[in-house]
Amino acid sequence: MRVLVVGSGAREHAIVLALAQDPEVTAIACAPGNAGTAAVSEQLGVAANDPVAVAALARRWSADLVVIGAEGPLVVGVADAVRAEGITCFGPSSSAARIEGSKTFAKDVMAAAGVRTAASETVDNPARLDAALGRFEPPYVVKDDGLAAGKGVVVTTDYDVARAHACTLLDGGHPVLLESYLDGPEVSLFCLVDGETVVPLLPAQDFKRVGDGESGPNTGGMGAYAPLPWADPDLAETLVRDVVAPVAAELVRRDVPFSGLLYAGLALTSSGPAVIEFNCRFGDPETQVVLPLLRSPLAAALCATATGKLADLPSLQWSDGAAVTVVVAAEGYPGTPRLGDVITGSEAEGVLHAGTRRRDDGAVVTAGGRVVSVVGTGADLDEARTEAYRRLDAVHIAGSHHRTDIALRAVNGEIAAPTPS
């Protein structure tokens, strides 16, 4: 099987590495890829958000399976264009990808499916903003209604900060979603979805804030770990039953069936699980910890999903132990990152590339905000965390920063899922 992975981040690097372990995969290409994926796959230039260009590339390369990594290409219809060429594609249609592309659409789907989520209100007119904000209590949650790479969200107890963020979004032509705050530990659950068939992967937890102790602004994600030692062993099955399966069924009812990876971001509140957001693809950085623990062949799972045969897929098998990833970010991130800094240690074991490129002189340099994800695995979460930070010590980038507390509270037993009232 020839597999083309579309994207350029650490998520795609993790997918390529998992595919490389699959004996059924005979060739792998990554487009446009990065300096890390170049070591394990053929690199092909393409504008990932151009449906016509990606479909043409898949045809020229004779791809048997195309895997779309990021949300942007899915929302603009890259998967539709690939399938129109008669090529199997893992990723939802542009209509189904609205579950991430429009938070208002997602809220409407959840309401129809009877799935718990935060109370919300969409504002598309600055004149309505103050009255709408007045209907919420702190902490205020202000989101860009569209795609924002995880950085369009502000959670704050300061009314003026919340209002300023909303005004910035509205001034840029972006509708604003105001939400009530959901307390409780957060969980990321990836599910393979084929219409109404849902197969969960391991639950994970990611870290959105840039600084230790959940300080600073939101980012695309600064680290993650899996599995969750503090969670109920039946958590994934419960979330499929109560959250993911009803949403998948509602999308089928609306004649926009989902095919691909449906990612539910949830808060485990005292009133039960509640959805923070849905994404239409593998999440980054959670992919970097979930896939290293998967023992089943990845290509078979993706193909079964993409060809409508997920119900026939054998049960997924997982390794014992745990995985932790820590993101190393460029100076300036999550604002404007500094580019072009030389990276040393980027070829070490466990280092997955994201914002990197190789210069003509062979040096690997920064080319984005989140530069690399450093992954450690171990017999338990403590061992995996220790290994991740040990490996991180070998990576050096001038001015870079990373969190030092990824998975620490879980290792120390400081997280507990609340008992629903």
Say which residues have a Cβ less than 8 Å from residue 54's Cβ, sequence separation at least 6.
Answer: 6, 31, 46, 47, 48, 66, 73, 78, 81, 82
Q: Are 198 and 241 in contact (CB under 8 A)?
A: no
Task: Count CA atoms closer than 13 A to 229's CA, side-chain side.
Answer: 20
Q: Are 140 and 159 in contact (CB under 8 A)?
A: yes
Q: Parallel, antiparallel, or unpaired: how do β-strands 197-200 and 186-194 relate?
A: antiparallel
Q: Parallel, antiparallel, or unpaired: how do β-strands 140-144 and 120-123 relate?
A: unpaired
The full set of domains in the chain, from first to last, is 2-90 (3.40.50.20), 119-179 (3.30.1490.20), 184-312 (3.30.470.20), 322-411 (3.90.600.10)
Helix or strand or coil: residue 252? helix
Beta pairing partners, 396: 344
User: Where do the DSSP E strands lie in 40-99?
Assistant: 42-43, 65-68, 88-90
DSSP assignment of 98-147: HHHH-HHHHHHHHHHHT--B--EEEE--GGGHHHHHTTS-SSEEEEESS-
Position 248, amino acid: A
Task: Tell me the C-alpha distance between 230 and 211, whole Å.
Answer: 23
Over the stretch 361-381, which tens digit does the pLDDT of each residue have? 999 999 999 999 999 999 999
Supply the pLDDT for residue 420.
63
Q: pTM score > 0.75 for this model?
A: yes
Closest to 60 measured CA to CA, from 79, 45, 70: 45
Q: Which two tokens stand for residue 302?
A: 């993706």
Say which residues have a Cβ less than 8 Å from residue 65's Cβ, sequence separation at least 6.
Answer: 1, 2, 3, 4, 87, 88, 89, 90, 299, 302, 303, 306
Instruction: Collect the ranges in the chain with pLDDT lower than 50.
Output: none
Closest to 79 measured CA to CA, from 63, 91, 87, 95: 91
Supply the pLDDT for residue 127.
87
Supply the pLDDT for residue 387.
98
Over the stretch 38-47, which tens digit does the pLDDT of each residue have? 999 999 999 9
Supply the pLDDT for residue 144.
84
Q: Are 277 and 265 in contact (CB under 8 A)?
A: yes
DSSP assignment of 17-36: HHHHT-TT--EEEEEE--TT
Q: Is the peptide bond before 334 cis (omega within 30 degrees of 0)?
A: yes
